[in-house]
A and B are shown apart, each in its own frame.
Chain A
């Protein structure tokens, strides 16, 4: 029997990625291959255009396997997934977590909307090119999020990469929170 919880969570991910794409936060080439396949209690989500850029979510054993070889993206995802309540370990192949349940699977799928085009967003933040994020936040009437996140990122540490990761984490997390309220009534 296919999991209703996974289907609902997947639909939510679908809508969030649509919104992120409309805001210009997801590149067309990364948006095009996105899909989520569900069989029984397991889901496989294609989260980007790179070969093997997938996430496996298994409600039977509560595992989540996020496959990626980009270290800064893995670091950001590790933190986002931990903040979503999972117990995660990061490796050079991705982020591997435990603790997915029927109760938190929607939240987890929201988080899975984050890594699409994240490498490209991180690259822009690294060179302090903030236009994309500022325009996206302006579109949803949340310009203040940028300054708040930048402030938090500055507090995070002295290493530049660390600031960039914290900034991206804060921006994408808050943006997802904001855009999901647009279709909350549907769920």
Chain B
């Protein structure tokens, strides 16, 4: 398996673990946001690791370039959202504020939604923009971020699983 593809397969596995952990944290509404900031940073790091698509894809640059640009844009806004979430989570933790009482600006995930719509054809959050801002808390943000992560993983899997390998030869169905 080529190195970028190997890296992508490994990253997808790690992102799935982060997704599961994110949902578990979101469900624990009465819990304190212990290590939620680390979770957000970890997801951001792994999303950055997934930026190997241009090394896996090849020649038909014209065909893939717009899609790769949309993916890079999504990971960029997602990274910003995760950064904002980590700061909010740290603040709440320092004041002993539970997840359900830790308010977050839903706009940060609405930005992710707009980029997800460009790439996936539909938004990736469930609660951002649906719940009134005064009810949008860290639990909701963790749930939304995990949902967006899920869509991103599905998108990445499209590239990781379509490849067939024999010896030094790799091929995929278009």
Whether A56 contacts B59 by the Cβ 8 Å rule is yes
Q: Which of A13, A38, A58 contacts B171 (CB 8 A)?
A: A38
Q: How large is the interface on B (under 10, 10 to 19, 20 to 34, 35 or more residues)?
A: 10 to 19
User: Can you list the 5 inter-chain pairs with the closest CB atoms, starting with the nearest?
Assistant: A38-B171, A14-B167, A10-B169, A44-B58, A14-B168
Residues of B within 8 A of A (CB): 2, 58-60, 166-174
Q: Please tell me if A2 contacts chain B, counting CB pairs below 8 Å.
A: yes
Evaluate contact between A17 and B169: CB separation under 8 angstroms: no
Cβ contact of B169, chosen from A1, A11, A40, cutoff 8 A: A11
Q: How many residues of A contact B (CB 8 A)?
A: 22
Q: Among the listed B2, B167, B168, B174, which residue makes an inter-chain contact with A40, where contact means beta carbons less than 8 Å apart?
A: B174
Beyond A11-B169, A35-B168, 15 additional contacts (C-beta under 8 Å) are A2-B174, A11-B167, A13-B168, A13-B169, A17-B168, A34-B168, A36-B168, A37-B170, A37-B171, A39-B59, A39-B172, A39-B174, A40-B174, A42-B59, A44-B59
- What are 17 A-B interface contacts by the 8 Å CB criterion? A1-B173, A1-B174, A7-B169, A10-B171, A14-B167, A14-B168, A34-B168, A35-B168, A35-B169, A36-B170, A37-B58, A38-B172, A39-B58, A39-B59, A39-B171, A44-B59, A58-B59
Residues of A within 8 A of B58 (CB): 37, 39, 42, 44
Q: Which chain A residue lies CB-closest to B169?
A: A10
